[in-house]
Structure 1
Amino acid sequence: QGHSKVALSLIKANADVNQQKHDGVTPLHIASQNGFSEIVEALLEARAEVGLLSESGQSALTAAFHGGHRAVMSLLIKSMGGRIVPNTGSVVSKTGSANFFDELLSGSALVEYRLSQRLSSALCKSGFVDSRAALQSAVADVLQAILQNRRSDKSFVVGSYSEGWGNNLKTLDGRTDSESDIDVMSLIPGRLYHLRGICSADCSDAKEHVDYINGHVKIPGYASSPATPFHGSSLKPAVDQVDASRLCRYPPIAPLQPDRVIKSNIPQHLLESLRQELLASPCHVVHAASPGQDGEQLR
């Protein structure tokens, strides 16, 4: 109904911004159709899926267009990377017809836009949605806490399972397949490497300095075998046990470099979350090397 304060309160309370009605319509559809730009902006900031389609095949962008809400259209197009039209601030239809988008989108751009809508809709219907990814990531956090409480070594649940997107590639219903492994990383006690020219002044007296090149550190003498697999069953998913060594800090992360931040479409709150994560979580290297570099590098 356009009550911005109520909508913002619900979003802050972690309401599902992608909840669909029986006809597939989402809050973003409704806000876009009615021109509620403040609510649209808040929903987009909360990672509402722009590509979700209603049962009639309508996206939030088409809903905004049919309502004549140019400010909302501009917000939606910007959230998709700004690739839909060259000038989102002055969108004018030449004919006033329903083929407006065909006028704006031509050739490969039109094909890309339509394929993107279909892909996003298919993924969401299959279960690849933010809420399920967040749930899986939370399960991984709980599993990690249990492992750290019960094991003597420092164990971490890492990889695609902990990140929420890699549950399995066999089924898309959110269930963990027996062959969908969970990576459990254990830090080797007492082994700490320092990145030459990157680590802080506090590490100046450290003995084990290593060179960092393109995602790998040069450390000879280790076979390239990053994990010990434990096969799964109907009662327990597969697990990859990964032994790793600690680095004193993370190397430079590309999305956080000044030249990348200026051009980035990544929301500021996500960039800040990434910065905080780099301070809070341990960086580690595993026994894996580039092709032809076995025994000479760690990844």
Structure 2
Amino acid sequence: MTSNMAAPVVVGTDGSEVALQAVRAAAREAAERGCPLRIVHAFIWPLMRVPLGPAPGAPADAGLRNQAWQHVNEAVAEAHKVAPEVTVDGAVVPGAASAVLLAESSAAELVVLGSRGLGGFAGLLLGSTAVQVSAHADCPVLVIRGEVPASGPVVVGVDGSELSEQAVAFAFAEASRRDTELIAVHAWLYPTPVGPGDILPLVYDLDAFREQEERVLAESVAGWSERYPEVTVRQRLVRGSPGGALVEQSRTAQLVVVGARGRGALGGLLLGSVSHAVLHHAESPVAIVRKPRTVKGS
């Protein structure tokens, strides 16, 4: 994919302003991580068996293929403005956007994309590409919603699951790299069945249950606090909806990190209800961690 041995940050572009916002964010991510940047345009038209070159009598730079390269070249130029020190590679790759980005994710440090692109319906909060890539990528996915905040904490959702632990690892590394504090949020409600045949008690000791949830939160960040002593951590235990709690925190955050699924999620779901809610409603960029690459220094 690239001559540089380091795994690249990959970003998709389609010529929209939302995509260019993602390109700018991806260029900054690549610069801060010391990675090359790979900009890809998913070129679906060859699959439609339509003419790709200029029509008879049209200018030489017309046609669908030339337009695709114009999108890529514009994005490369934008990336160079933001991070001139970063090695940038642009490519037009045949295929649908989700399939192309998922294939790219197998060798990427991070995939970055906008929340919507060209062809998206204005009434949708999030494009289908962002949802599909977040659910299945082989590396963390960063979804950009507007311009990236320059300050604010990194917020991570914690629930004690394996994916939550991976999200916590990613969030600590991000907070350290960004030189900001980390807010670990664990929201709880009364227990609910997580599988067929589960039998739950009719009466709960609320204090005991709260103490149990406090332990889940504390244990989830304890080891990582030792590994990243420079990161100030604030723990927030919230009684209520996990998705709602994270969306609320996103209003002052520069990044919200969640796992693709957590405790109690059905394996057949593309994304858990919490990550789905955060993707659609957060007011900050959102990182979805499903299969994180090895954290540097871990």
TM-score range for the pair, normalised by the shorter chain length: under 0.3
TM-score by length of 2: 0.28
